[in-house]
Structure 1
Amino acid sequence: MSNIVALPRQETGDLIDRMAADLIRFEATGTESDAIRSLMATRRYSYGDIATLLDDAMTAARQQIVAAEMARAS
């Protein structure tokens, strides 16, 4: 049985967005270990949130970086 409480979809999306913004701010999108270390250092996220949402947050952060670079190039 899992101890993780399911968050409503909107709250999960907001949390992923905040995590992605922190990953970009700390330039921690390269490796999973860098991302985990950076998010843990903020003390804004629980272990469970990081474990379950890290992949989505890293993907969102990378997509934002690519979009910003494409906008700058055009």
Structure 2
Amino acid sequence: MAGRLPRNGRLSADDQEANRLHSSIRVIIEHILSGIKRCRVVKDVFRNTKEGYDDVVIELACGLHNYRRYCRNQSY
């Protein structure tokens, strides 16, 4: 990743392309995380103290997100 702008305020063409690629990947990941966080149990404080339940909750939320994406792309 190119990082910050140098003092002259210009990035090289390679650095600009690297930043463009990095930002496009970041947008995709942010959309995935927001889809998972539709399940409020993921984004709120999880108060269940049983061991391993937090892993089950995130796996279920990811599964629901994948199912929503799968169903959205189906044509009936």
Q: Confirm or deny a common fold (TM above 0.5).
A: no
TM-score, normalised on structure 2?
0.33
Structure showing greater radius of gyration is 2
Structure with more of its chain in helix, by fraction: 1
- The higher-RCO structure (CA 8 Å, 6+ apart) is 1
